[in-house]
Structures are given as structure tokens and as C-alpha cells.
Amino acid sequence: MDYAPDNLLITGGAGFIGANFVRHWLSRPGTGPVVVLDALTYAGNQANLRGLEHDSRYSFVRGDICDEALVSRLMAEHRIDTIVHFAAESHVDRSILGPDDFIRTNVVGTHALLKAAKKIWLDEKAVRAHRFHHVSTDEVYGSLGLSDPAFHELTPYAPNSPYSASKAASDHLVRAYRETYGLHTTLTNCSNNYGPYQFPEKLLPLLIINILSGKPLPVYGDGLQIRDWLHVADHCRAIELVLTRGMVGEVYNIGGNCETTNMQIVRAICRQMDELLQADANLLKSYPQSPAARGKPAETLITHVRDRPGHDRRYAIDFSKASRELGYAPSFDLAAGLRSTIEWYLLNTAWWQPLLGRDYAQWVQSNYSAR
Ligand code: NAD
Ligand code: DAU
């Protein structure tokens, strides 16, 4: 039977996917209140939620998911019946350079949320029905060979980075709370998201912004690693489907049906950026360092750099279970998704410019070289 969430607690709602989901959820007619709980780490940004402060259904609490007392209090005060858990340390390179924060937030933090949920929902029976939805990643399944079948929900876990190991641990805790205590959980493992509000250390926004400022486009190793690119709007729709139609205790893989090598996506972005810049004299004037403004193709900025240690070669997602059981299908093809994403970054310079305090690519490379 379908589930109708009333009062949502959204952790990590000031991050990339969380903010897109908060916006998506509040745009549905008849949706109830949403409380965002976010620690506002370097990746959290209240500007991602700008405009929502006028919506009486929306409230924001700055706080840490590891603070179990805070989570319990929020759940009781707001009669939360549904948690959608996005909060995490999410960047693989950072997890290689410093795993501690990943263990704390992704493992200990998820456990604190589960403990609070058990106390309020199961021990105190504060609500009639409840759901704990955990947002996880395809990286928990490890790396595929070129001809291996895509990851499905029963693929054994084989995480290779401190990030994916911490997400795998959190997935296991969610499973354990379901099996042991009967918590009503659902879990999604999805592929690489892209779209508006993505922090500019991740590949796609980093490429777009570096092209505008004429900086190198760092490609790790040979660039033949394969990812399945999922537009964040499709991911948000998938989570809505899981929340409302998903079966308690089930896991759903969510993909974008857009497998490409990194080199292919880098070249696609270069081509689209060249087209957009060349077609607009104002853009060329605004970005005098861009290759287009200097009469060169953006591809001339491509630079092969030191590979990420333990770099997974290929991810691919079999999302047939979500299609069959929930009616999920991605709506974006890669060319259209990249175009709208590039256009968003071109229109929203005021959003990303304040985030460029550090040259992320150089920072990662110099730290890798120092090892
Ligand atoms: P993000 O890094 O953009 O955002 C994470 C958010 O969590 C930030 O707002 C941050 O302030 C908040 N946060 C971090 N630690 C916290 C803590 N201790 N307490 C409260 N808030 C905290 O991440 P994202 O890309 O939006 O990813 C969201 C979720 O989706 C993560 O769980 C990630 O593992 C998962 N995921 C992401 C992708 C992707 O491609 N981005 C793909 C698969 C799964
Ligand atoms: O697969 C899902 C995962 O996708 C999520 O769980 C993670 O939270 C999310 O960050 C993302 O992980 P990736 O490591 O795949 O994303 P990233 O954008 O960091 O890198 C994408 C690919 O591009 C990867 O193969 C590494 C490569 N890369 C990345 C950067 C930042 C480069 O070649 N150069 C770069 O500068």
C-alpha cells in the first residue's frame, strides 16, 4: 500500500542533492512541513535553499546528525514521521586525504539518527506510521570490468575508498535496524549525480568553471574510467517514488542510463561550452580567459594528472527493479542534462563565485603528490 509522509526531517538538506530534493518536495501540491537539519560544513550552503524561507512549511536547523539528543528533540517537537537522510561527507578525494570525518558523519552520524528514530518511533510509539529513507551510493559495490553486468541490488558489497567503505557501513547499520528492531527503512544506491547547486570540487562543475577561467581541466589517469550520470532532478523523483510507493525494507538502485568515460564527458562539456560561449558576445566579454574568447577550443585545456589512488574503473547501474516496481525511468539524456546544467552555472555565477576560495584540483593534486 502507498505511504503518505506527513512531516519530513531532511538531513543534509543544504547540500547538493538534499537542497534539490527539498525544493522538489515542497513543489508538490499538498506537501506537509519539512525540517532541514544540516551542520553547514564546507559543502553545506544555505544559498542552495534561498527563497524557501518564505514558505511556511519550511524550517532550517543548523546542527549535527551525530547529536542524538538534538535529533530526538526535533523529531518529537515536529512530529516527524519520515526521515530522508542525505547528510554525509561525500567527496572521494577528501576521504583519501582524511578519512576521519567520513567515519564520524557517515557511520557514527547515521547510527545516531537510527538510534533517535528507534527511540521516538518504536520505543515511544510517537507516530502511527514511519519511514527512514537512507540515500546511498553505487560505490559500495566496488568496481566493474568492462564486460561485467551492471550492479543490481544483490551485488555483493566491495567498497574501495574510505568514502565508499563508510557508506557501506551506514547501509549495513540501516539494514541491521530493520532486521533487529523492525524499523521501517528504505534505501537507494544511486550513480553519479549532476545538476544545479553541485559544489565545484566535483568533476562537472569543476570543468565548467575552469573553462570559464581558462584553467586546466584535470583528468585523472587515462580518463577511461566509466560512470553512469544521473541528473539530480531524476534522482529526486526516484526518491519521491521510493518514499511513497517503495516497500518497507527494500533496496532500490537508481541510475541515469548514461554510461560514459570521463574523457567522453569532458569532451562533451568542452564542445557545449565552446558553442554557448561563441554564440554570445556578452559571455565572451565576461570570460576573457576562456579558450573561446581567445579563439581556441576548450579541449586545449585538458590535462592528464596523477590518478586517484584506488580509483574505481567502472560503475554501472541496473535499475530494472525501480522501473518495474515503482515506475521509475530517468527523463534526461546526457546531452540535454549537460546543456541545462551548463546554462544553470552560466546564469548563477553569484552562487558559485563565493565558493572558489581554494583551487580544489590543485589542492587534491598537491596532496596526492605529497604522499
Ligand atoms: P554534499 O556533500 O553536497 O552535501 C552533504 C550535506 O551534508 C552538506 O549540506 C553538509 O553540510 C551536510 N553534513 C555533512 N556532515 C553533516 C553532519 N555531521 N550533520 C549534519 N549535516 C551534515 O553531498 P551530496 O552530493 O548532496 O550527497 C548527498 C547524499 O547522497 C550523500 O549521502 C552521498 O553519499 C549520497 N550520494 C551522492 C551522490 C553524488 O553523485 N553526489 C551519488 C550517490 C550518493
Ligand atoms: O557514484 C556515486 C558517487 O559519485 C557518489 O557516491 C559520490 O558522493 C560523488 O562524489 C561521486 O563520486 P565520484 O568520485 O565518481 O565523483 P567525482 O565528481 O569526484 O569524479 C567523477 C570522475 O571523474 C571520477 O572517475 C574521478 C574523475 N575526476 C574527478 C575530478 C574531481 C577527474 O578525472 N578529475 C577531477 O578533477
Atom index in ligand 1 nearest the CA of residue 42 equals 11
* Pocket lining: 167 vs ligand 1, CB cutoff 6 Å: yes
Q: Where are the alpha helices (DSSP H) in 213-333?
A: 232-245, 262-278, 281-286, 320-326
- Number of the ligand closest to the Cα of 143: 2
Q: What is the pLDDT of residue 359?
A: 83
State the pLDDT at residue 365: 82
Distance from residue 156's CA to the centre of ligand 2 (Å)? 22
User: Is any atom of ligand 1 closer than 6 Å to the C-beta of 40?
Assistant: yes
Task: Provide the strand spans (E) within the chain.
Answer: 8-11, 34-38, 58-62, 82-85, 131-137, 185-190, 192-194, 217-220, 226-231, 251-254, 259-261, 302-305
The alpha carbon of 308 and the centre of ligand 2 are apart by a number of angstroms equal to 10
What pLDDT does residue 142 have?
98
The rounded distance, in Å, linking the Cα atoms of 5 and 11 is: 16
Model confidence, pTM = 0.98
Task: Give the amino acid at 257.
Answer: N
Going residue by residue through the chain (371 aa), what tens digit of pLDDT does each one get? 699 999 999 999 999 999 999 999 999 988 999 999 999 999 999 999 999 999 999 999 999 999 999 999 999 999 999 999 999 999 999 999 999 999 999 999 999 999 999 999 999 999 999 999 999 999 999 999 999 999 999 999 999 999 999 999 999 999 999 999 999 999 999 999 999 999 999 999 999 999 999 999 999 999 999 999 999 999 999 999 999 999 999 999 999 999 999 999 999 999 999 999 999 999 999 999 999 999 999 999 999 999 999 999 999 999 999 999 999 999 999 999 999 999 999 999 999 999 998 787 888 888 877 66
Ligand 2 atom nearest residue 220's Cα: 33
**Is 234 known to be catalytic?**
no
SS in 3 state form for 113-150? HHHHHHHHHHHCCCCCCCEEEEEEEHHHHCCCCCCCCC
Using a 10 angstrom Cβ sphere, with 0-12 exposed, 13-18 middle and 19 or more buried, the burial of residue 281 is exposed
Cβ(355)–Cβ(45) under 8 Å?
A: yes
Q: How far is CA 72 from the centre of its chain?
A: 25
Q: From residue 262, how far is each of 117, 186, 369 by CA, in Å? A: 40, 31, 22
Cα angle 33, 39, 43; round to 5: 105
Pick the atom of ligand 1 nearest to 192's CA. Answer: 40
> Is the minimum distance from the CB of 90 to ligand 1 under 6 angstroms?
yes
Q: For ligand 1, say whether the CB of 254 is within 6 Å of any of its atoms.
A: no
pLDDT of residue 368: 79
Per the residue annotation, which of 138, 234, 259, 274 is the catalytic one? 138
- Say which residues have a Cβ less than 8 Å from residue 304's Cβ, sequence separation at least 6: 219, 221, 222, 223
Atom of ligand 1 nearest to the CA of 163: 34
| Fold of the domain spanning 8-197+230-256+314-331 | Rossmann fold (3.40.50)
Q: Any catalytic annotation for residue 343?
A: no
Grid look-up 565576461 returns: 286
Residues 6+ apart with CB under 8 A from 41: 89
Q: Please confirm, yes or no, whether 325 is among the known catalytic residues.
A: no
Which residues are within 8 A (CB) of 27 and not within 5 positions of it... i.e. 6 or more apart? none
Query: Does the C-beta of 84 come closer than 6 Å to ligand 2?
Result: no
User: Where along the chain do its domains lie?
Assistant: 8-197+230-256+314-331
CA dist., res. 293 & res. 264, Å (int): 23
